[in-house]
Amino acid sequence: MGSKKYKGKPCVYCVDGVSSDGEHIVSREFFPPTSRGNLPKAPACRRCNDEKSKLEHYLTAVLPFSSEHETALKGQTEKVRQRLNKNKALKNELRSGINPVSMKTKNGSLEDTISLPFQPEKITEYCKYIVRGLVWHEWNVIIPKEYIVEVFPFRQHAYIFFHDRVLTMSPNFRRHGILASGGFEYTCTRSSTDAAFSAWHLKFYENMLLAGEVAEDKLECIEFCALTGPPTIRPIVERLRGNSEKT
């Protein structure tokens, strides 16, 4: 039986839909069973739940290969093989895209490993769902339909600006969450005058490695930043994307 806390409420993802029940904001399937306690939920309609599940089906099969974090390694051994055996097309896609690659270790030496093909738009789209859900979880706020939700990988030029200028905008509303023994982590804050204007630093597994190109100097630890707010925050988004020198 669904909880009354979640059932029959406005869907936090699309706003228009009515929730059928509470839905885990970050899917339980990213983590081993021993690390799934107290994962946050949010009201979600059936349509959004189905669309989000499609992204989760892909990401829970692929992301655990990107990290040596404990929860990722357990995910590889316990669940990924089962998921890929049920999805032959994805299994063949990953197998045909395997490439040898060298990457730098923490001590500066090179280590031979392999890379797998990855569709980066799926994780940024998924993070939009996560941010909408966590805004509701942290502050009981639903982001209005006319507001923008932008997610993109952190780049070196944006990291200091984001942490020093954006994540400090309202210290009293700053939050830090660690889920599944560090399998997912976030730091966030929101405006003191507009609860739906928020900033996020998101991490899937520690030291997750993704790359757009297979090259020694292109492999990098990927974390994500996100902004939600009215269209007037677009200049901040462009600054973080590297398309503008000033905000």
What are the residues facing 42 on neighbouring strands?
Answer: 23
Is the pTM higher than 0.75? The answer reads yes
28 Cβ contact partners less than 8 Å away, ≥ 6 residues apart = 36, 39
% of the chain beyond a pLDDT of 70: 78
pLDDT of residue 4: 79
Taking the C-alpha atoms of residue 176 and residue 186, their distance in angstroms, rounded to an integer, is 6
Is residue 62 within 8 Å of residue 126, measured between CB atoms? no
Where is pLDDT greater, at 219 or 94? 94
User: Would you list the domain boundaries of the chain?
Assistant: 21-115, 122-241
Taking the C-alpha atoms of residue 222 and residue 208, their distance in angstroms, rounded to an integer, is 6
CA–centroid distance for 102 within its chain: 26
At 237, the amino acid letter reads V
Helix (H, G, I), strand (E, B) or coil at 115: strand
The predicted model gives 71-75 an average pLDDT of 64
144 Cβ contact partners less than 8 Å away, ≥ 6 residues apart = 15, 196
pLDDT of residue 217: 43
pLDDT, tens digit, 9 for 90 and up, residues 119-160: 888 999 999 999 999 999 999 999 999 999 999 887 766 788
Phi-psi region of 145 (alpha: psi -120 to 50; beta: other; left: phi over 0): alpha
